[in-house]
């Protein structure tokens, strides 16, 4: 009688152990990403290079930039509405793998001042950054301007602010919060402040940052939690290239479709700043494309 009892204990212990191990393993399973960049070849021309990367979810954050509830440009606002649902699905998948989510609704974080996610960002202990964070002000946060020692001019002319509507929209303060389609889970954080973001990352030992949101030619490059500053501070940042949009009016140089303009800015990022990948690497599904882009056959 003794042996079967011992065997039962062993079996139970084994099952418990494998359940625990299995759970731990699923949280630690690396995310497999195909990173695309443009590297300068010997002849001085850029060529597209793809590299496989495996990132530990626990060492990775996903930053969502300026997915506001409204925008002064009607077309831009409609594209955010279209993007928000698929982006929320991607965020849920990433969060489920153990990635830390930081929501960045720039200039309107006060909407969330009483939430635990906003308080979490404020409470993160101060972490010294590699170099001083940008002190320039623009559009309600600090700003990292283009770096001529590193990057060429943007490939699109956005000097008119990029409204691509038939009847031009008037610039106004339109947004009040992040679009409600994107869920903010208990364990997420909310900030639009560079120091707070670096504090949150340091607190968790996070070295990899994935970034998505709008608009790539402006805030996804220039905000204090965004590409330029993350690169300057030595973070391993990558852009999710199908989960972004630009402010670009095809009536301006280089006189291409709005979506071609976005592709050109993605190229710019891949040349001068960081690699990109597709959200399908996280979701296991299809990459996102705007319906207007799909119907134009591009």
| Binding footprint of Zn ion on the chain (CB under 5 A) | 73-75, 163, 165, 169
Sign of CA dihedral 229, 232, 236, 241: positive
The closest of 236, 240, 203 to 93, measured between CA atoms, is: 240
Of residues 2 and 172, the one with the C-beta less far from Zn ion? 172
Classify strands 46-55 and 31-40 as parallel, antiparallel or unpaired. Answer: antiparallel
CB of 77 vs Zn ion, minimal distance in Å: 8
Angle at 283 between CA 32 and CA 26, to 5 degrees: 60
Of residues 9 and 165, the one with the C-beta less far from Zn ion? 165
Of residues 151 and 157, the one with the C-beta less far from Zn ion? 157
Of residues 97 and 258, the one with the C-beta less far from Zn ion? 258
CB of 162 vs Zn ion, minimal distance in Å: 8
The closest of 83, 75, 81, 245 to 164, measured between CA atoms, is: 75
H/E element, 201: helix 194-203
Rounded to whole angstroms, the Cα distance separating 204 from 236 reads 15
CB of 248 vs Zn ion, minimal distance in Å: 11
Of residues 31 and 163, the one with the C-beta less far from Zn ion? 163
Of residues 31 and 247, the one with the C-beta less far from Zn ion? 247
Per the listing, tokens 């919060």 go with 177
Of residues 74 and 207, the one with the C-beta less far from Zn ion? 74
CB of 156 vs Zn ion, minimal distance in Å: 16
Of residues 188 and 245, the one with the C-beta less far from Zn ion? 245
CB of 157 vs Zn ion, minimal distance in Å: 16
The closest of 37, 40, 39, 35 to 51, measured between CA atoms, is: 35
CB of 73 vs Zn ion, minimal distance in Å: 3
Angle at 75 between CA 152 and CA 95, to 5 degrees: 75
- Give percent helix, percent strand, percent coil of the chain, each to the nearest 5: 35, 20, 45
Cα-flanking dihedrals φ and ψ of residue 237, to 5°?
-100, 145
CB of 74 vs Zn ion, minimal distance in Å: 5
Q: Is 212 helix (H, G, I), strand (E, B) or coil?
A: strand
Rounded to whole angstroms, the Cα distance separating 107 from 179 reads 14
CB of 214 vs Zn ion, minimal distance in Å: 13
Question: How many of the other CB atoms lie within 10 Å of CB of 216?
Answer: 28
């Amino acid at each position: 009688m003794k042996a079967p009892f011992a065997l039962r204990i062993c079996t139970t212990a084994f099952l418990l152990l494998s359940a625990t191990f299995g759970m731990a393993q699923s949280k630690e399973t690396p995310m497999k990403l195909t990173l695309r960049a443009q590297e300068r070849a010997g002849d001085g021309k850029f060529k597209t290079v793809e590299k496989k990367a495996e990132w530990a979810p626990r060492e990775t954050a996903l930053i969502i930039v300026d997915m506001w509830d409204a925008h002064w440009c009607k077309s831009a606002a409609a594209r955010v509405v279209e993007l928000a649902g698929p982006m929320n699905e991607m965020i849920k998948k990433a969060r489920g793998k153990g990635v830390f989510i930081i929501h960045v609704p720039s200039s309107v974080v006060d909407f969330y001042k009483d939430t635990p996610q906003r308080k979490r960002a404020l409470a993160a202990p101060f972490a010294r950054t590699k170099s001083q964070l940008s002190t320039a002000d623009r559009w309600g946060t600090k700003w990292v301007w283009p770096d001529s020692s590193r990057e060429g001019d943007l490939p699109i002319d956005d000097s008119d602010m990029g409204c691509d509507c038939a009847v031009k929209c008037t610039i106004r303060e339109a947004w009040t919060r992040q679009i409600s389609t994107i869920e903010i889970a208990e364990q997420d954080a909310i900030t639009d402040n560079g120091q707070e973001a670096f504090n949150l990352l340091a607190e968790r030992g996070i070295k990899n940052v994935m970034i998505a949101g709008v608009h790539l030619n402006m805030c996804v490059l220039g905000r204090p939690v965004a590409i330029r500053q993350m690169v300057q501070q030595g973070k391993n940042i990558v852009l999710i290239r199908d989960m972004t949009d630009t402010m670009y009016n095809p009536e301006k140089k280089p006189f291409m479709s709005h979506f071609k303009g976005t592709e050109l800015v993605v190229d710019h990022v891949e040349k001068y700043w960081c690699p990109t990948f597709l959200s399908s690497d996280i979701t296991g599904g299809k990459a996102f494309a705007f319906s207007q882009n799909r119907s134009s056959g591009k």
